[in-house]
Copies of this chain bind each other. A is one copy, B any other.
Amino acid sequence: MDEEKKRKEDCPLCDKIEYSYQLIGKKWIGLIIHTLLDGPKRFSEIHAYIPDLSKRVLNERIKELEDCGIINRNVIPTRPIRTEYSLTIKGTELGKALVPVEQWAKKWL
């Protein structure tokens, strides 16, 4: 067995760390979570906050974040129908974990 594989097997946390970096390493994920951290938002509101993010990709990201339990989708039965997205507890904690990165940005960029 080669060294790098050995290292991975010896460290079950590495998978989780790697996974988390793949997650926030997807384009727009960080900004979407940041946007939702100050409260639930509708599809078009998120889109207005991040205008460079296309609706197609926003929709894709929302589904991915739902699938991994980071956001909730709430369909509000008003007329016209509205869908609201909010962070789960898991998602809120990820959002809070990203705050130091924002502070770094404030200081260094």
Contacts and interface: CB of A to CB of B under 8 A. Distances in A.
Contacts of A20: 30, 101-102, 104-105, 109
Contacts of A48: 3-4
B30 A25 contact: yes
Interface string A57-100: 00000000000000000000000000000000010011011111
Given A17-B34, A30-B25, A49 B105 contact: no
Contacts of A56: none
Count of identical protomers in the assembly: 2
Contacts of A107: 93
Give the secondary structure class of A's interface: helix
A51 interface: yes
Interface of A: 3-5, 7, 13, 15-22, 24-31, 34, 48-49, 51, 90, 93-94, 96-109
